[in-house]
Structure 1
Amino acid sequence: MSESSRDDGRTFRGETERVVNEIVQGFRTLDAGAEWFSGLAPTHQQEVLQEIAGYAMQAHVTAEDGRAGVARSGVKPTANPSIMICMDPPRYGFAGLPAPERVTAFRVLVSVFAIADTRRRETHCKGACGHAWHNLPSATWQP
């Protein structure tokens, strides 16, 4: 792998982190995020789903978070991504879902991550958070 492709990978992961956290913190709508996601190449969509699943795991998503996130996502509770995230423990194989289910998986994962991450910001990080992604500037994205 060349140096430039490693840099491109880091840049893409940074963009993914920024977009997801803008959605979670209300600086970008879920619909705008889904539009961004839809415009990505299929391989990048899979990478994004893996990245967000990692965020969700780090936030210790519960089945209860899954149900609340699915309700917030606007996705049917019977859709594959909804069922996967509501299992106890949640299943994280979203990158392996067929292409037609990826936008649905993105909506579910981001919504569930928002629930879990908000809970963690209010408990573990309350008052003295040093996580850069919890402290986004208010004007990071413009429609």
Structure 2
Amino acid sequence: MTETSSGGDRSFRRETERVVNEIAQELRTLDDGEAWFSGLTLARRQKVLQEAAGYAMQAHITAADGRAGVTRSGVKPTANPSVMICMDPPRYGFADLPADEHVKAFRVLVSTFAIADTHRRQTYCKSTCTHAWHHLPTPAEEE
């Protein structure tokens, strides 16, 4: 299978951004996000993990966010992605983990991002936010 053009890559990045933010804003369940993620090729899963790690970095996650994210993710605290996200500072090489760790890494990353991003939406971005990804329509609004 060949990779898509740069236009396809941009489209895939937007899709990734939307899925991750929908999970963070509880417009999509983590299990639904995992099903989407699991259906991707290995190369695409690695790209998603890189993107999600970038979102987590931009949200300025802390080790405390990591611990709360691990709890929320349902992944064992001793799993590699859990240990990585709880380090101070967190480690971000999730795309380099073995393929059998990718789903755990996705769950941990997205759950931790959700914790940190929710905090940002409720504090720094409250009422004045212009970030499009903080204003996703609910399913009822899209109808």
Q: Shorter-chain-normalised TM-score: which range?
A: over 0.9
Return the alpha-carbon distance in structure 1 between the equivalents of residues 19 and 123 of structure 2: 23
SS of the equivalent of 1:55 reads helix
Cα distance per residue 1:69-95 (max 9 Å; x no partner): 000000000000000000000000000
Return the alpha-carbon distance in structure 2 between the equivalents of residues 115 and 70 of structure 1: 10
Residue 15 (structure 2) pairs with residue 51 (structure 1): no
- Aligned-residue offset at 1:14: 0.4
Return the alpha-carbon distance in structure 2 between the equivalents of residues 20 and 64 of structure 1: 20
Trace 1:11-90 onto structure 2 (pairs within 5 A).
11-90=11-90
- Aligned-residue offset at 1:129: 0.8
SS of the equivalent of 2:5 reads helix
Return the alpha-carbon distance in structure 2 between the equivalents of residues 50 and 61 of structure 1: 15
Q: CA RMSD in A?
A: 1.3
1:97 matched residue in structure 2: 97
2:5 matched residue in structure 1: 5
Flag as ranges the 4+ runs of structure 1 deviating above 3 A: none
- Aligned-residue offset at 1:123: 1.2
Return the alpha-carbon distance in structure 2 between the equivalents of residues 43 and 94 of structure 1: 13
Cα distance per residue 1:51-84 (max 9 Å; x no partner): 0000000000000000000000000000000000
- Aligned-residue offset at 1:47: 0.2
> Greater shift after overlay, 86-95 or 119-128?
119-128
> Greater shift after overlay, 118-127 or 97-106?
118-127
SS of the equivalent of 1:61 reads coil
Return the alpha-carbon distance in structure 2 between the equivalents of residues 9 and 127 of structure 1: 32
2:126 matched residue in structure 1: 126
1:110 counterpart letter in structure 2: V
SS of the equivalent of 1:17 reads helix
Return the alpha-carbon distance in structure 2 between the equivalents of residues 118 and 111 of structure 1: 11
- Aligned-residue offset at 1:32: 0.5
State TM-score, norm by structure 1: 0.94
The sequence identity of aligned pairs, in percent, is 71
- Unmatched 5+ stretches in structure 2: none
